[in-house]
Structure 1
């Protein structure tokens, strides 16, 4: 065949192979490149295209796990390559060296390659080299150099219309934002790259999923990270992306460790280490070994003296590999293991030689440093120093959290402080000081609700998705009522929820918010005005109550936390079972008796032991975990007692301040009453409630749309909504109030510029919340409190329409008579069933 014809055909195969490589499909790329090679080998005049095919094939084969073959192909190409193609060869060799963990050699090759490339003659090769060199700088901790390379890469790519490489540079700039702790910026970058990859290179989505998962782990959303990683592992396996596969396994180990699943974390870390060793990448294998070591330490059953020895060896290896921060992490693991093994002096020597955390360190490194310092100090009896280290760690976590503007990330971040919080509370309990227990409990609980509220910026994409979701949910509801199947809607519903949630993640936070300082107990007592405060705390499996009255402050041991939470679940299930069900008289009596028995059981575990201290006082309750969903008025001791429930004392005090600040204007503030569709007595309830408030705005029938309801609620003194409610456990901010034309959701509440002073939700379940680590609660009540509402009245179980109407009318009658919300609710539920409504916030 004519050499020119052979060259054209080989060049076409080369172009196809490059396109497949760029699209993240190395297996396909290898087949295409080998087809070109077979043609190029047929004539000695085709040296140039022969060399280019070998250079490109080297990456494809190394990505499939055949790294040594990749190097041999590059050696073969070196004998053929012409001078103009030499920088391309250098760049490809650098990439293989970097993927093998030989970063110092890779950097030298990249420097030489980039020095020879021009954006006029080799723009694609230049942007690839710049993008890849940035990753070497990144692993070395040279963020400034990495950012400079990526910015130049993006500029050159944009100038030459290389859209895919613009997206790749943006992705890696997002990785820099993750390291800097600016997760909203990172997630915005990843979202934009996702849209580009879906059009330009779907094969790149596996790698992007790993980077997004890394950001979600940093945000504390480890379950969401797991979903991303499951997809990434599947894609990487199908596409033969060996490096991405190993990377995904390592991030999976990080997610499992954060989730408190150390056995699973150790298993994923071992698999990642094996995968990296299979690619001869000893650097990444060492990082996986560090994860495995930390997981083994967290299991607790592993001999800690052995962990200390392993950590010492690994610290030296990481230092030799040019990973100084990770070497310091291994040193901290060693110090903690030495304390646990009964060698505190050796641990103190080791931690004393280590420098403090650096500004550029990862959050995890900084928090681990404070934790190790605290344990070493505590083991030497220096409790004040230990306390200062723990507080410094919680302060660092607060600064991290303040960079987020959405409740999802703000509440998720608490998991990073789990060990610090447990250690601080355990130390306070050991100290035996009720004041210390109070202060530490406040520092480690519901901190997200104390951040200044951030209204999301106008986002047309999120707004459009939210409106489509609303309409689709309305169609699903109509189909359900008509008995038609709804399965076809589910994938689109999930996709829309994902878009809305991910757009919200990108909202920047207040940043400069100072860490909240717990108010003095004297100030708390003054605000209680004769009421009693009961703060529930859990240390391990033991549940305790901190009781504060105007006479004394005490800590009372209650019993097993899990048993109490299970009793609450049973009680709520009883109330759910009774709601709206017509039962024979004998069966109804049996069910009521079972409910009373379960209510007595809950009361005996969580309230009866503190009654001698609180007497007949009104209660302000700060629950922990699932106790936040307790139907307090179902308990015998609270049947007619005013009870206010708050996620923390700080949240309660903030709500009280809002209540008192708005009191002068409250007399003239508007009252909004809304009734949704499908509730037989909804409109009658709305009319009855409105008749008690002069000049109330009433929205019923087709007028009661989400948009109209939100407009009427803005700035109102009181808003009452009677509607079907549904709490979503997986995504609490998608909990709904069914209104005309579609639901009103938790995400809608965040759009309120001025939240109503008091909100009453006459519906099922919307008093429920998803309680995360650090007692960070996410649901409709906390969404309203975060938006600025002072008091929320809602049910923690299902409730029959007729019963709800009776309670609600009685409640508003008491409010009009001058009762505060908590007292009005206690009066309204007295003698009415079921007593599932709870007063959240200021009371």
Structure 2
């Protein structure tokens, strides 16, 4: 009767204590306590409800009807449960007060078992407050009492808490002993929950001690048991533990998926705030490991804020340190150093020597990057000495690798080599993939500086192979492209060594391809196979609403913009985070059409066989002040290397001249001939720097596929001028992110452009959009579907696309250099972003983006181009027409009319674009009006 009443009262939040109770008040108090303890780790809200009911029961008990002992016992239970409720709410100070009151009351009642049990919860509260010594004393005292009372279950629970406390102080060997003992006690007491939780905690300690195989075995068994018995929080704990093991071993995709599952599992199970933020911090660690640094920083900041909110200084300190380390890699040195100082102060206050040493290690990395190798060597040595006592091999090896890099920078080659070889051997033995990568890269750099080309190539090649294995295992374009940052330095050095070593042009091209747009080659897919992402829809709607409010505020001018801008930025981060988690939860799409050999060496002979007789492929690679070009044709592969002094300044000068044409004032147009001469001078200088050496190698070829590199992606190749004419007069030109992608695209049958979807959304600044749409429609006769004005929505676009051959989009566009994923085409119902584009069913279609700056991209490491073109390529479009700068509406409409009239008449896209561009150029038009557009892909 009492148990049923307690359960009913907790289940129904609107139900009050009955009048009269109808049951013994003390028995009801203990029944409510039982409900609380059964629920608090899986359903915290039920624990809070129990505390409220017990507070009411305690107030009701203050009557003569209840004896002194009954009143004290009810109060003791109420204080105990209130302490648990405070723990669930993250209020650690009040939790300690309530638990002390409960302990005092049970002591008065001479109930040592219950008095000792209140200490178990207090250990948790003290540790979360950072009072580790007090927590350890409290826990050891309770453990002795439980052992004396013969209570195996209670003794096991306090050992778990003490082990957790030791873990927070980075005393992992001590923690492992406590967890192992707790697991044994749980088994003896036949308590599945204790046994499983202790096993997971033991596996975590073994992970820190680098016993990965045993840790994984224990975790998998624990997860299976947790799932079998419906213990959702325990299953999420096991997922998190499995993810951390995978992260230590460099198995990034497995780590990301498991950690995302853990975060989701904790949220679904209503786990404690502490467990939720620990899971978010672990997921941020995984983002950082694969170089998704802005996303990692955003997530670390959320963890710091949440840790401050619930009073968890350990989690606050760790997230502050890890956030600072990510900021260092982003080049945000001042913010990073400030974060390191804060983290060091927090760790010192907790008397956590190992974590203080970790901040010193991060400082050493900052000093090395700042060109202070002597300071870095000192900091790394100090950190290494302290970390040696932690028993965490990964930390120690990281310190040794940093010290070796500092020694190399100081010219202490022998010391550096010995240190790096030792790091590499131990990392390989322990299966620490990230540290192994650092060892190979360090030894490769060192060997190259000493002129040992054979060793340098061996180590750098091994580093690239490790990165490629990780990339191949990762799911999702964002993850694959981000990890390329780890490969860029090694790849550049390998190319340089290959040039210096006199390797054949075919070998040079194969090596260049080893680091060129690798993530994009793995990510191209049929968008119809991409899973829907309904969880993102509410966030997208909120983001669109916030953007609309921001634009309205700009127009009206009477609303503060900064809060709205912050809101937009926060929602963009939320959408990105949700998108990343959706990628991790999704399986490999069935329609994936990425090159099967994306992880294999590039086959230059296969490229030559695929090149038509009239086509040459030119792949560039910038090596500081030199430009390497490899030219492949059906019959031969040749290369050209030349210095490119002032290339960056010339590109900037060209852009200045192009941008000056945005002004339509009659006064400026009166100097049209002079302005044309100025831009032509820049284009002639760039022709000499970039193309003059290549020109003799492609003279006999009508078509040229250009694979740019870094800043050359911003060069309008068609407008290069040799003093006699434009490059477009010599060749049809199309661009490709890599030879690998161009070759893969040849396997798909060419689709004749017969049916078109033309979508346009304009305002007063785009008066020619409707005329452009009608011109496109006329070129295709009755085979065109046109959506303009308010009908130009994403929903209409997605519905109309299946079965079409061409998609034409005429609208405003914005390239977001700060966040390329939110570069967007503005349609009637909001922005079509890169994330949206890659989900459109455009496989096999020609996509024309008749808008401003649609071809601009952020060039990420590994020559991964992050912009709108990437979204459509990822969706499977073999050819994308896009612009490099803010185009003129009227001249764009004319260009598109010429392009589509020729395309509909049977010309291939590159020939149609070339003819349309030259028609304007022949009229004397400035390149601003005709050279912005380029074809990406097959052409």
TM-score band, normalised by shorter chain: 0.7 to 0.9
Alpha-carbon distance between aligned partners in 2 of 1:563 and 1:408, rounded to the nearest angstrom: 31
Query: Contact (CA 8 Å) 1:755, 1:787: kept in 2 or not?
Result: yes
Residue 699 in structure 1 maps to residue 786 in structure 2: yes
Q: Is the 8 A contact 2:472 2:599 kept in 1?
A: no
Select 2:452's aligned residue among 360, 382, 389. Answer: 382
Query: 1:783 is matched with which residue: 850, 868, 871?
Result: 871
**Counterpart in 2 of 1:601?**
682
Superposition RMSD in Å: 4.0
Deviations 1:456-483 (A, max 9, x none): 6534534644874797589669968996
2:373 counterpart SS class = coil
TM-score (norm 2): 0.78
1:217–1:606 distance in 2 versus 1, CA, 3 Å: farther
Partner Cα distance (1:768, 1:379) in 2: 36
Decide which of 178, 183, 199 is 1:114's aligned counterpart: 183
Of 370, 376, 391, which residue of structure 2 is paired with 1:322? 391
Structure 1 pair 806–224 and aligned structure 2 pair: CA distance change class (3 A): same
For the 8 Å contact 1:652–1:841, the answer to whether it is kept is yes
Structure 1 equivalent of residue 734 of structure 2: 644
Unpaired segments ≥5 residues, structure 2: 1-66
Contact 1:64 1:242 in 2 (8 A): yes
Distance, in Å, in 1 between the alignment partners of 2:851 and 2:910 is 18
Instruction: Look up the match of 1:557.
Output: 643
The answer to whether the Cα contact below 8 Å between 1:434 and 1:546 also exists between their aligned partners in 2 is no
Q: Which moved more, 1:314-323 or 1:291-300?
A: 314-323
Please name the residue that 1:70 is paired with: 135
Cα separation, partners in 2 of 1:79 and 1:526, compared to 1, 3 Å: closer
Task: Tell me the residue number matched to 2:808.
Answer: 720
Assess if the C-alpha contact under 8 Å between 1:535 and 1:623 holds in 2: yes
Structure 1 gap ranges (5+)? none
Asked if the contact 1:572–1:631 (Cα under 8 Å) also holds between the matched residues in 2, the reply is: no
Q: Does 1:239 align with 2:310?
A: yes
Contact 1:525–1:548, Cα closer than 8 Å, also in 2: no
Q: Does 1:840 align with 2:936?
A: yes
Moved more, 155-164 or 49-58: 155-164
**Residues 122-131 or 82-91, more deviating:** 122-131
Structure 1, 815-824 or 100-109: larger mean CA deviation: 815-824
SS in 1 for 2:886: coil
Question: Would you say the 8 A contact 1:404–1:507 is kept in 2?
Answer: no
1:160 to partner: Cα distance: 7.2
- State the shift of 1:721 in Å: 2.4
Give the stretch that moved more between structures: 493-502 or 411-420.
493-502
Does residue 411 (structure 1) correspond to residue 490 (structure 2)? The answer is no
Moved more, 511-520 or 823-832: 511-520
Distance 1:479 1:351 in 2: 58
Query: Relative to structure 2, which stretch is displaced further, 726-735 or 475-484?
Result: 475-484
**Equivalent-residue separation in structure 1 for 2:713 and 2:239 (angstroms):** 42
Structure 1's 66 and 497: CA in aligned 2 closer, same or farther, altered over 3 A? closer
Q: CA deviation at 1:730?
A: 4.0
How far, CA to CA, are the matches of 2:120 and 2:818 in structure 1?
48
Q: Could you tell me how far 1:136 is from its partner in structure 2?
A: 0.9
Alignment CA distance shift 1:449-1:275 (3 Å): same
Corresponding residue for residue 461 of structure 1: 534
SS at match of 1:69: helix
Match of 2:150 among 83, 102, 113: 83
Distance 1:393 1:493 in 2: 34
**Measured at CA, do residues 6 and 134 of structure 1 come closer, stay the same or move farther in structure 2, by a change above 3 Å?**
farther
Does the C-alpha gap of structure 1 residues 21 and 480 become closer, same or farther in structure 2, counting only changes over 3 Å? closer
SS of equivalent residue, structure 2 residue 929 = coil
> 2:687 and 2:282 mapped to 1: Cα distance?
44
Question: How far apart are residue 599 of structure 1 and its match?
Answer: 6.3
Residue 191 of structure 1 and its aligned partner are, at CA, apart by: 4.8
Q: Secondary structure at the match of 1:559?
A: coil
1:433-461 deviation per Cα after TM superposition (whole angstroms, max 9, x unaligned): 57365444322221112215355653453
Q: Which moves more between the two structures, 739-748 or 768-777?
A: 739-748
Alignment pair present for 1:54 and 2:136: no
Residue 515 of structure 1: SS of its match in structure 2?
A: coil
- Whole-Å Cα distance in 2 between the matches of residues 313 and 525 of structure 1? 58
Within 5 Å, which residues of 2 pair with 1:54-453? 54-78=119-143, 80-81=145-146, 82-84=149-151, 85-117=154-186, 125-126=194-195, 128-147=197-216, 149-150=218-219, 163-179=232-248, 180-181=251-252, 182-186=254-258, 188-193=260-265, 195-196=267-268, 200-202=271-273, 204-260=275-331, 268-269=339-340, 272-273=343-344, 275-303=346-374, 318=387, 321-351=390-420, 355=425, 357-358=427-428, 361-379=431-449, 381-431=451-501, 435=505, 438-451=509-522, 453=524
Q: Give distance in 2, aligned partners of 1:690 and 1:821.
A: 17
- Are 1:546 and 2:641 an aligned pair? no
2:859 is aligned, of 748, 771, 774, to 771
Corresponding position of 1:674: 759
Distance 2:739 2:358 in 1: 41
Asked if the contact 1:465–1:499 (Cα under 8 Å) also holds between the matched residues in 2, the reply is no
Q: Is contact 1:134–1:145 with CA below 8 Å preserved after alignment?
A: yes
Per-residue displacement from partner, 1:270-321 (whole Å, max 9, x unpaired)?
6545544543434444444444334433333323xx7567756765665554
Q: Deviations over 1:235-264 (max 9, x none)?
A: 323433122122113322431343355776
CA contact (8 A) 1:371 1:389 kept: yes
Q: Secondary structure at the match of 1:449?
A: helix
Look up the match of 1:503: 582
Deviation digits for residues 763-786 of structure 1 (CA, Å, limit 9, x no counterpart): 222212222112111222122223
> Are the aligned partners of 1:530 and 1:549 in contact in 2 as well (CA < 8 Å)?
no
Establish whether residue 520 from structure 1 lines up as the match of residue 604 from structure 2. Answer: yes
Bigger relative contact order, structure 1 or 2, given CA contacts below 8 A and separation 6+? 1
Would you say how many aligned residue pairs link Structure 1 and Structure 2?
828
**TM-score, L = length of structure 1:** 0.86
Closer, same or farther: CA 320–751 of 1 in aligned 2, 3 Å: same
Shift of residue 78, structure 1, vs aligned partner: 4.5
For residues 490-549 of structure 1, what are the alpha-carbon distances to aligned partners after superposition, in whole Å with 9 as ceiling and x for unaligned?
Answer: 466664454334423544558986514234389459837566655443345x35242537
1:16 is matched with which residue?
82
Of 439-448 and 26-35, deviating more is: 26-35
Answer whether contact 1:344 1:379 (CA < 8 A) is retained: no
Cα shift at 1:676: 3.8
Q: Could you say if the C-alpha distance between residues 105 and 523 of structure 1 is closer, same or farther in structure 2, counting changes exceeding 3 Å?
A: closer
Q: How does 1:723-742 map to 2 (within 5 A)?
A: 723-742=811-830
Give the 3 Å change call, closer, same or farther, for CA 463–287 of structure 1 in structure 2: closer
CA distance in 2, matches of 1:312, 1:251: 20
How far is the alpha carbon of 1:750 from its aligned partner? 2.9
Contact 2:650 2:685 in 1 (8 A): no
Task: Mark the CA change 1:593 to 1:214 in structure 2 (over 3 Å): closer, same or farther.
Answer: farther
| 2:809 alignment partner, SS class | strand
C-alpha distance in 2 between matches for 1:142 and 1:529:
58
Out of 517-526 and 278-287, give the one that drifted further. 517-526
Instruction: Determine if contact 2:628/2:639 at 8 Å carries over to the other structure.
Output: no
Q: Is the 8 A contact 2:834 2:870 kept in 1?
A: no
Deviation at 1:69, TM superposition (A): 1.6
Q: What is the CA deviation profile of residues 155-202 of structure 1, one whole-angstrom value per residue up to 9, with x for unaligned ones?
A: 6666777655554444444434434322441353155146437x5544
Does residue 756 in structure 1 map to residue 844 in structure 2? yes
Contact preservation (8 Å) 1:252, 1:268: yes
Cα separation, 1, equivalents of 2:673 and 2:550: 32
Residue 335 of structure 1 and its aligned partner are, at CA, apart by 4.2
> What is the CA deviation profile of residues 704-762 of structure 1, one whole-angstrom value per residue up to 9, with x for unaligned ones?
54344335434543332223333333443443334454554433443356613421111
Q: What is the CA–CA distance in structure 2 between the aligned matches of 1:747 and 1:774, rounded to whole Å?
A: 20
2:898 pairs with 1:803: no
SS at match of 1:385: helix
Cα-to-partner distance string for 1:340-393 (whole Å, 9 max, x where unaligned): 443444544555555275386344212112213323443554312321221221
